[in-house]
Structure 1
Amino acid sequence: MNIIQLFSLLDLKTNQILEFGPEDYIRIEKKINFEKKINPEIDSNTGENLIIALKEYKEEFLFVISNRVFFNFFTQNNSQKNHFSNYDVTVPDEKIKEFIALFLADDLISFFSFKLSKHWYHYLEELNLLLDLKRYFSEEIIYKMGLLVFSKLDFAVSQLAVSNTNEFSNINYIKYDPFYHLLSHFATIELDRKVVILLDLVSKYYKKGTNIIFFRSVVISMASYNAYIENLRKIFIESREILMKPKERDETEKMHLIVKIILVIFFLLIVFSKLRCS
């Protein structure tokens, strides 16, 4: 349990955070000690950290707990907008970054990893919203998140490279556009190269007529990837447009365009290879 969950469990008033004083801290400590007796998920460190956060990081705590994305993520809830008030609290980004690194980093990575592993569309959407706030995360946190996201792409590529079946449920997340929004937060030349490899594999499966519905969805969603190399996104968008208007082209013409895209991909892979060697 983290300090945001504990604060919520204790049913404390968010609008009183800035006004808490010595008597309030004593009252809160008593509530924590009572809850610890009946809730084994509350450890001593969390209780102590909550008191420290309320005493020494009032503004930072209020900022995080009154942010809907942060609150829902750290409490594992889905509270609606009307649950939150605008406290108009202004805190420098660096202070929020320090606060999260100090009190919430472990759960941030743990929850992120768990939700990413589920492959569910709404979890991917939630993680994308969370990464919109990455300016409040330390470099170490962003690095760890990036590794987790990259591992999903690497896994999909490895599965497609060796698969000889029509069963792709273990990589179903590559058909969702939020997955490519996630990748976009970490776009680099190297990541662009890996996404091109994925498109290459997907195009080949599509050309062979393997699970066309699935791979059609993948190609369409890949247009959501905001590539590091600007012109690369045009290829993803062109691929999507080919498949979005099937009635306007016969299958022969559509396949011709798919082959054309594969040739462009082949050229890009050569370019990426030269960039890596230089």
Structure 2
Amino acid sequence: MNIIELFEELKIDKNNILLASPEDIIRIEKQINVEKRINPDIDVNVANNLILALKDYRQELYFIASNRILYTLFSKKNYSRHHFPPLQREYDAEKIQSFINQFLNDDLVLYFDQNLSQNKFDMINDIFDFKNCFPEDALFQLNKKLNIKLDSVLVNLSQNNSENNSAISYVEYRSFYVLLSYFSSIEMDDKIRSLVNIVSERYNANKLSDFYTTCISSMQGYVAFDPGLTSILVRNREAAVSNSIERSSSGSSSGMSGKSIFFIVIAVLKVLFLFAKCSSH
């Protein structure tokens, strides 16, 4: 249990956080002491941290308690939007980051790990509107684990064994590439270029492959550090979609236009050129 879960358990009125008097704090402390006797799951440190937050970090606590995305994340409860006041557009991200680091970092890291292990990248994407509120170390660890998953994709696809594809099924998820976009860099771009080369080559060899068609379409979700790479991903997806439409409309597996084939090949050549250019620096 963390301080937000305890806050929820005690049913403290979030609207009173900023206005709580010393007497209100004492009343909440007494309430916590009663709850501790009833509920053994309430940790003494968590209880003390909630009191500390109510005393010294009211603005930060209120921001999280009144923010649907962050409150849902840390309370593990899902309330409708009507349960919350209008979104607070202006806030001190560094103070929120420090607050989360002090009181909620373990829960944030656990949330990342659980969703990564289940390939639920969209669950992480959903909270990244407030990425600037998350501690740098938690984001660093997430980036590191995402790179491991991307490396695993490259290793498995390099072996050209379709039986390995089930172990990297997430390579077909657009949400995976959207999440990678939050950590785009020269190094990440290089890995995506390598992936583009492999996938494009396999796709050109077998344009009937649903697996590689889906990969090409999903990779367009990555917004690269290099705008040129982003353009390549967009054009590759357009070509793959066009090819699928032509194949469906013609009812023939050979229903490929010269124009569509041209786009895919040029994209691969441009990727190789960019990769060579990057390596020369």
Same structural fold, with TM-score higher than 0.5 when normalized by the shorter chain: yes
Does 2:82 align with 1:82? yes
Does 2:264 align with 1:267? no
**Equivalent position of 1:138 in the other structure:** 135
- CA separation of 1:136/1:9 partners in 2, compared to 1, >3 Å: closer, same or farther? same
**Equivalent position of 1:27 in the other structure:** 27
Aligned length: 272
**Counterparts in 2 of 1:46-85, with a 5 A limit?**
46-85=46-85
Distance apart, 1:270 and its partner CA = 1.8
Quick check: 1:166–1:211 contact (8 Å CA) kept in 2? no
Q: Paired residue for 1:159, among 146, 156, 162?
A: 156
- CA separation of 1:211/1:7 partners in 2, compared to 1, >3 Å: closer, same or farther? farther
Q: What letter matches 1:4 in structure 2?
A: I
**Equivalent position of 1:197 in the other structure:** 194
- CA separation of 1:41/1:208 partners in 2, compared to 1, >3 Å: closer, same or farther? farther
Distance apart, 1:92 and its partner CA = 2.1
Deviates more, 1:162-171 or 1:234-243: 162-171
Return the TM-score normalized by structure 1.
0.88
Distance apart, 1:57 and its partner CA = 0.6
Quick check: 2:180–2:222 contact (8 Å CA) kept in 1? yes
Quick check: 1:14–1:62 contact (8 Å CA) kept in 2? yes
SS at match of 1:18: coil
Return the TM-score normalized by structure 2.
0.87
Distance apart, 1:38 and its partner CA = 4.8
- RMSD over aligned CA atoms reads 2.4
Q: Distance in 2 between matches of 1:89 and 1:19?
A: 21
Q: Distance in 2 between matches of 1:204 and 1:77?
A: 46
Quick check: 2:203–2:209 contact (8 Å CA) kept in 1? yes
**Equivalent position of 1:112 in the other structure:** 112
Distance apart, 1:163 and its partner CA = 4.7
- CA separation of 1:140/1:26 partners in 2, compared to 1, >3 Å: closer, same or farther? same
Identity %: 38
5+ residue gaps, structure 1: none
Q: What letter matches 2:85 in structure 1?
A: S
Q: Distance in 2 between matches of 1:208 and 1:167?
A: 18
**Equivalent position of 1:185 in the other structure:** 182
Q: Alpha-carbon deviations, 1:94-152, whole Å to 9, x = none?
A: 221221121112211121121122113xxx22311322212223332332222122222
SS at match of 2:161: coil
Quick check: 2:67–2:87 contact (8 Å CA) kept in 1? no
